[in-house]
Amino acid sequence: MFKAILIDKADSGQNVALTDIEDERLPAGSVTVRVAYSTLNYKDALAITGKSPIVRSYPMVPGIDFAGVVEHSDDPQYQAGDQVVLNGWGVGEKHWGGLAGKARVDGGWLVPLQAPFTLRQAMGIGTAGYTAMLCVMALERNGVKPESGEVLVTGAAGGVGSVAVAILAKLGYTVAAVTGRPQESDYLKALGAHEILDRAQFSEPGKPLAKERWAGAVDVAGGHVLANVCAAMRYRGTVAACGLAAGMAFPATVAPFILRGVTLAGVDSVMCPRADRLEAWRRLASDLDPAKLDGLTRDIALDGVIAAAGEMVQGRIRGRVIVPVGGD
Ligand SMILES: NC(=O)c1ccc[n+]([C@@H]2O[C@H](COP(=O)([O-])OP(=O)(O)OC[C@H]3O[C@@H](n4cnc5c(N)ncnc54)[C@H](OP(=O)(O)O)[C@@H]3O)[C@@H](O)[C@H]2O)c1
């Protein structure tokens, strides 16, 4: 038996509860992992609250991330005792996920724990942090360098945003952080933000083109926020777009793209190829200051996850949440 959050269909929506599950009910997969730590991502919060149709089949154990120790493996790449990390691949959406004492998955979905991170630190990073790294890599791929000019991070006090600010500042970029929570200004400055901007300046419909300001941007919001960010990009700047915290719509014009040569680089973490994942984790090991990581995480026990999911969809969680499950 192991403890897990379980989402099941109900007449009116869904039931979510912390429950005991027999090992025999684990889904098919080549590797069984004892989960040491999981985490709460925005997508998990949407799944648990039922705010968006994330769950594709019921009953579902949510949790798009886990870090743990291999208990049994039919995959030659892994042996019992190996420390492994999982991010995405539809886990927690269509395959039972990481907010549980055990998980069973395809060995090809796992990556070995990246040194020098601990299992706990890997979940401090989680999909949000690994996506932040993919966004920074997208900016670099498109030629955005620290000397190119200021870069912007939206949703900065959230998970992706906090890690993106910390990485970009460590790499020497001048980072402006957009937040709807001015009370988090000191937190964002401690992560390395040079300037704090009020989200309200970005949330209303704007002009197709604004004064050129940003050489690069990481956007977690979508909606008018993304449209306004694109409008204020410098000539040949790049926006890495990964989220929809402000909405799925993209109410913009093509003006920034055809008149300023702006690149809109889409970032997906779920189906990201293995080589890019391994590269992102290697880069996190070199470009994310562990002290900054400690400053942006907090623990929430498995029995507090359902309440925390409600807070997260309201944008009230700061930084990253670690969910200790079995521990080290
Ligand atoms: N593409 C991918 O593979 C991928 C991977 C990970 C995450 N994501 C997406 O990225 C987004 C952020 O994820 P996360 O884990 O960082 O979530 P999070 O920790 O909940 O942070 C989201 C942040 O967005 C800001 N925000 C909330 N409502 C907003 C609004 N109406 N307008 C503008 N900003 C708003 C808030 O930051 P402030 O309080 O600082 O304003 C909030 O903290 C989500 O949409 C998530 O689904 C995508």
Tell me which DSSP letter residue 51 carries: S
**Which pLDDT score, from 0 to 100, does residue 60 have?**
98
Q: Is the CB of 181 under 6 A from ligand 1?
A: yes
> Using CA positions, which residue lies closest to atom 21 of ligand 1?
158
> Using CA positions, which residue lies closest to atom 36 of ligand 1?
155
> Using CA positions, which residue lies closest to atom 17 of ligand 1?
42
Would you state the structure tokens that stand for residue 167, as one six-digit string?
Answer: 């990485």
> Using CA positions, which residue lies closest to atom 32 of ligand 1?
246
Domain boundaries, the chain: 2-113+296-324, 126-266
**Which pLDDT score, from 0 to 100, does residue 13 have?**
87
> Using CA positions, which residue lies closest to atom 18 of ligand 1?
158
Residue range 126-266 in CATH 3.40.190.10: no
Report d(CA 220, CA 245) in Å as an integer.
Answer: 6
* Residue 252, burial from CB neighbour count under 10 angstroms (0-12, 13-18, 19+): buried
User: pTM value?
Assistant: 0.97
Q: Which of 160, 187, 189, 229 to mutate to test the pocket of ligand 1 (most atoms within 8 A of CB)?
A: 160
Q: Residues 210-237: pLDDT tens digits?
A: 999 999 999 999 999 999 999 999 999 9
CA of 220 from ligand 1 middle (Å) equals 5
Long-range contacts of 14-23 (CB under 8 A, 24+ apart): 14/50, 14/55, 14/58, 16/48, 16/50, 16/306, 17/306, 18/302, 18/303, 18/305, 18/306, 21/61, 21/100, 23/102
| Pair 14, 8: CB distance under 8 Å | yes
Q: Which of 41, 42, 250, 300 to mutate to test the pocket of ligand 1 (most atoms within 8 A of CB)?
A: 42
CA of 277 from ligand 1 middle (Å) equals 21
CA-angle at 241, arms to 236 and 245, nearest 5°: 140
* Positions of the chain with pLDDT under 70: none
Residue range 2-113+296-324 in CATH 3.90.180.10: yes
